[in-house]
Structure 1
Amino acid sequence: MSTPDTGAIATKINALIEEKWRHQPKPPGNAAIARAIREETGLSISTGYLWMLRTGERKNPTGPRLQALAKFFGKPAGYFLDQDITSEDMDLATALRSSGVRTIALRSDGLSERSQRAILDMIEHAREIERLDHDDDV
């Protein structure tokens, strides 16, 4: 695992905050976010500590604070510590926890690119039918 740099944790937390509140004009302040973390996870993180993480003053969240962030944002704790892990990597890891997604991925291995494209087209069509990618529904 890579050693985190000062900005990596701050960048990840700020990106997660932006994503979580993407449908609002701007995210809430640190006090509201810290309160939401406490309320949703039952784990404590102070407003000041969250501010220090977001500004890069603190760069290594540990113990309960790391658990609180991970639980709140739906990421494994390692996401915050490994600067080589991207959000896309973590989204893939989260998706692969679903046995259905895992089965689709494993069964498509070895198929021609044409067949894989056809499967992807079917998945995109199903997502469209279920309106999973429409932001205007929120």
Structure 2
Amino acid sequence: MVERARALADKLNHLFANATTRSGQEYSNEQVASAIVATGVTISQSYIWQLRKGKKDNPTFKHLQALAAFFGVPVSYFFDDEVTDRVDQQLEELKAEQARLSEIMDSSDAQLMALRAGELSPEGRRQVMDLLDVVHRLEQAERDTRPKE
């Protein structure tokens, strides 16, 4: 069975899905276009959208170089399916590692909060607890008002 090569749009969308901002959000076409334009390469968010939708599928080498540089992959990612597969595997491993580190950081934040609270006076600890109660109630109310999926 011969495996069909992945389309440019599929490869590009995979990069968008797996290379996220620090907050974990997917980059927008506008963010990518702005970052590339800042390097001196002219590209628009609508052109990136067209590439991602498969409406355009023959970008210039300069555009592919700029997209590869933005996402931190070799330009051969777009041409060589073996490179694509290898990079995609590395991206998946990196994403899993980032998720693991995020869990550790969340735990570390709670430990740091507890350590700092232990250094406070009894009145200071009461104030921190009052503040935590307020934040907890606000977040709980926000969760309760979200529409159910």
TM-score (normalised: structure 1) = 0.53
Are the counterparts in 2 of residues 43 and 64 from structure 1 also a CA contact under 8 Å? yes
AA in 1 matched with 2:13: N
Superimposed CA distance per residue, residues 71-122 of structure 1 (whole angstroms, 9 cap, x where no aligned partner): 11111211112345434x13789xxxxxxxxxxxxxxxxxxxxxxxxxxxxx
Alignment of 1:35-74 (within 5 A): 35-39=34-38, 41-74=39-72
Alignment of 1:1-138 (within 5 A): 8-21=7-20, 24=23, 26-39=25-38, 41-87=39-85, 89-90=86-87, 134-136=101-103, 137=105
Residues 92 and 61 (structure 1), Cα distance of their counterparts in 2 relative to 1, 3 Å cut: same
RMSD: 3.5
Residues 45 and 85 (structure 1), Cα distance of their counterparts in 2 relative to 1, 3 Å cut: same
Q: Gaps spanning 5+ residues in structure 1: where?
A: 94-127
- Over the matched positions of the two proteins, sequence identity in percent amounts to 38
Shift of 1:32: 2.2
Residues 63 and 27 (structure 1), Cα distance of their counterparts in 2 relative to 1, 3 Å cut: same
Residues 37 and 135 (structure 1), Cα distance of their counterparts in 2 relative to 1, 3 Å cut: farther
- SS of alignment partner, residue 86 of structure 1: helix
- SS of alignment partner, residue 42 of structure 2: coil
Structure with greater proportional helix content: 2
Shift of 1:16: 1.0
User: Distance in 2 between the 1:92 and 1:30 partners?
Assistant: 23
User: Distance in 2 between the 1:134 and 1:13 partners?
Assistant: 26
Are the counterparts in 1 of residues 21 and 27 from structure 2 also a CA contact under 8 Å? no
Are the counterparts in 2 of residues 11 and 54 from structure 1 also a CA contact under 8 Å? yes
Structure with the bigger RCO (C-alpha within 8 Å, sep 6+) is: 1
Q: Indicate the structure (1 or 2) with the bigger Cα radius of gyration.
A: 2
Are the counterparts in 2 of residues 75 and 90 from structure 1 also a CA contact under 8 Å? yes
User: Distance in 2 between the 1:43 and 1:135 partners?
Assistant: 34
Count of equivalent residues: 96
Are the counterparts in 2 of residues 70 and 77 from structure 1 also a CA contact under 8 Å? yes
Superimposed CA distance per residue, residues 30-57 of structure 1 (whole angstroms, 9 cap, x where no aligned partner): 2222112323x44332112101110011
User: Distance in 1 between the 2:102 and 2:40 partners?
Assistant: 29
